[in-house]
Structure 1
Amino acid sequence: MEPRTISPFPLAALVTMEKATVPTDVMKKPSTTGEELLPPNQGISNGDSRRTSQLPLTTFETSVVLGIFGMFTIALLCVYVTMPSVDPSFLKLPRTVAELRTLTDYVSKYTDDYRLQVLLGYCTVYIFMQTFMIPGTIVMSLLAGSLFGVVQGMTLVIFTASAGASCCYLLSRLIGRPLAMWLWADKLNFFTREVTKRREYLFNYMIFLRVTPTLPNTFINVCSPIVNVPYPTFIGATVIGLMPATFVTVRAGLALNTLSSFNELYDVKTVSALFCIGLVSIVPTILKRSQSQVFDGPHIR
């Protein structure tokens, strides 16, 4: 789950973000707390972390990306050749609700007789888009609701979104640090400070970020391993945090005829409800912190 148009999958934010370069002294400059502004990342040398004048990927890193991209491409081709004759004009990501209705009507004809191929194709496309930060997963969520209903659609979307986020996390752990510094230098420094301050209650904080549109999901997927968010915390918060927005999107897929644009999915009421759910996730953190301050405060005799 897609500025800044509010979306639980705000991948479109990647296209419109301003690409910032980072001076080399930023990596050397300590923060006000005396710690490094960005935590070190294993497997990337200091020289590689400072490459910002060009696309910051070495030949090896580019080869890794192309290799993974090629595996996804082969998987999609295998699904395509096992399907019956398909009109190529329908094999594109819809940009409007009208195009999505047309695609839903077309794919639904194959859902009963070729259910396995449809599921494999859907999962491969969704995970591929999440892994390589391609905008449009909100359309895939709507399609899941239209084809499979609320319960099966939610299960499918949460599984594929979590799997895609995991792939993006692991890929970023290998090659993401220079790319993130090239794309989101200021945001990455901010995220590092926030994670450092909330290390004790990091799980609740990550759930809050997933539920609310505070930061784009793409940014969270790429930058979490860079700021040393543990994978169990990352994936647990992802699964739980995606549920509210996924329910809204999948349920809307059952009523595509009532939609005129994708922007109608997340109106003021829906966004406000998501923020309320997100605030609930950090209530335990606030209560524990308040209790800690009371017990650690000065004792008056």
Structure 2
Amino acid sequence: MPQPDALDALDLVEQGLGARNSPLEQQSAHHHQQHSSKSVKIDRFLWLRRIFLLALIFTASLSMLVALLFSLARVNSTSLGRGGGGGWEFIEISREQQQQLLNLRFPRNIDELRSLREALGNYQQQHRQLIKLGIICLYLFLQAFMLPGSIFLNILAGSFYSFFEALFLVTVLATLGSSLCYMLSRFILKDIVYYYFPERCDRLAKEVHSHRHNLLNYVLFLRITPLLPNWFINVASPLAAVPFREFFLGTFVGVIPAGVVAVKAGRILSQLNSLNDLYDSRTLAALFFLAFLVILPVVFKRRELRNAAKAT
């Protein structure tokens, strides 16, 4: 049985409340779907140019990221730190700490995340801003190129910083990273994304069109519900004609609940066994209830408008 996504959930909400599209809306949506369902003609030369441009951007970004991360590992016993008298002083880092930094790798599970946190612990106390810069650059890289792993950075930030500092950091980074992905899709990947996901893109475009008067609420709904992948929202939003302003604001507010969950998990990192511990039944129920509250005013407003139209 295929797993339901956020679009299915929204349909169930509206159907359960008795919401129906007017004939004019149905005709407009049908015309929009027919138009967007036309087969994409593959311009191989254009695709090659866009893929080459994407590869160039990816390579340049990866090179800068690797250079930054290696600069963290190269900080050794001659690392400079601000002295108490306004000058500079040398900070000693043991050979064991140097070796830990050289052996760093991106975590694939909670155990590896704990090891990473331990390796960075003493280093973070002496180089707080460098660690934050590394988290920022790595986070934006993962989000922009639709790579998994940002959840680990959310948890890591929660273990390093205070609750509100970590929450603000991951919220801003998630929004900026998603915006970069949005722009990559809008100017480079749009045709390629539609070629591989035509039905999902058409369906999202139809939903966006039907919620065009309350688009911010709809983007919030998509962001809060964990069923529709964030990477797909990022790359498909330009195809679905979601304006950047609504995308940006909806993302900024919509990622806060998931950020709260991850940051709180970072406070108890030593007690976690797996990522499944983050989203237990109570947490999922709370997220879906919050998403229901976000979309509920839109549903009632649409019903009132239809009833008023019928009365006239």
| Alignment partners' CA distance in 1, 2:47 and 2:302 | 44
Other-structure match for 2:32: 35
Change in Cα spacing, 1:58 to 1:294, as seen in structure 2 (3 Å) is closer
Q: How does 1:136-151 map to 2 (within 5 A)?
A: 136-151=149-164
**Partner Cα distance (1:195, 1:138) in 2:** 27
* 3-state SS of paired residue (2:108): coil
Q: Distance in 1 between matches of 2:260 and 2:190?
A: 33
Q: Post-superposition shift, 1:58?
A: 2.2
**In structure 1, what is the equivalent of residue 282 of structure 2?**
269
Once residues 71 and 105 of structure 2 are traced to their aligned partners in structure 1, the CA distance between those partners, rounded to angstroms, is: 18
How far residue 50 of structure 1 moved from its aligned partner, in angstroms, is 2.4
Partner amino acid for 2:278? L
Is the Cα contact below 8 Å between 1:90 and 1:103 reproduced in 2? Answer: no
Aligned length: 265
* Separation in structure 2 between the aligned mates of residue 183 and residue 130 of structure 1, nearest angstrom: 20
Amino acid at match of 2:49: F
Q: Measure how far apart 1:242 and its partner are.
A: 0.4
User: After the TM superposition, which parts of structure 1 deviate over 6 Å for at least 4 consecutive aligned residues?
Assistant: none
Letter in 2 for 1:154: L
- 1:232/1:277 CA distance change after superposition, 3 Å: same
Q: Structure 2 length as normaliser, TM-score?
A: 0.77
**Offset of 1:180 from its aligned partner?**
1.4
Deviations 1:127-175 (A, max 9, x none): 1001111111111111110111311111111111111101000000012
1:109 counterpart = 2:122: yes
Name the structure 1 match of 2:236. 223
Moved more, 174-183 or 186-195: 174-183
For 2:272 and 2:172, the matched residues in 1 are separated by: 25
Structure 1 Cα separation of the partners of residues 300 and 29 of structure 2: 27
Q: Distance in 1 between matches of 2:246 and 2:28?
A: 25
Distance between the aligned counterparts of 1:31 and 1:283, measured in 2? 23
8 Å Cα contact 2:50-2:189 kept in structure 1: no
Identify the match of residue 62 of structure 1 among 51, 56, 80: 51
Cα deviation, residue 59, structure 1:
2.6
Q: Structure 2 vs 1, CA of residues 57 and 153 (structure 1 numbering), >3 Å: closer, same or farther?
A: farther
Please say if residues 176 and 226 of structure 1, whose CA atoms lie closer than 8 Å, have aligned partners that are also in contact. no
Counterparts of residues 140-219 of structure 1 (less than 5 Å): 140-219=153-232
Question: How big is each residue's C-alpha offset from its partner over 1:54-112, in whole Å with a ceiling of 9 and x where there is no partner?
Answer: 9x972321222122213322332442354214546643221121111110111122222
- Could you tell me which runs of 5 or more consecutive residues in structure 1 were left unpaired when the two chains were aligned: 7-29, 41-45
Distance (Å, rounded) in 1 between the aligned partners of 2:261 and 2:175: 17
2:75 aligned with 1:79: no
Q: Which amino acid in 2 is paired with 1:255? A: I
Structure 2 segments unaligned to the other structure (5+ residues): 6-26, 77-97
Letter in 2 for 1:72: S
User: Which protein, 1 or 2, shows the higher relative CO under an 8 Å CA cutoff with sep ≥ 6?
Assistant: 1
Q: RMSD of the TM alignment (CA)?
A: 2.7
Distance 1:104 1:70, change over 3 A: same
Cα 1:262–1:180 change in 2 (3 A) is: same
- Structure number with larger C-alpha Rg: 2
CA separation in 2, counterparts of 1:57 and 1:279?
42
* Kept after mapping to 1: 8 A contact 2:29/2:209: no
- The one-letter amino acid of 2:65's match is L
Summarize the Cα distance change of 1:153–1:38 in structure 2 as closer, same or farther, 3 Å threshold: farther
TM-score, normalising length from structure 1?
A: 0.80
Contact 2:217 2:250 in 1 (8 A): yes
Asked whether the equivalents of residues 202 and 240 of structure 2 are also in contact (C-alpha less than 8 Å), the reply is no
Query: Who is 1:125 aligned against?
Result: 138
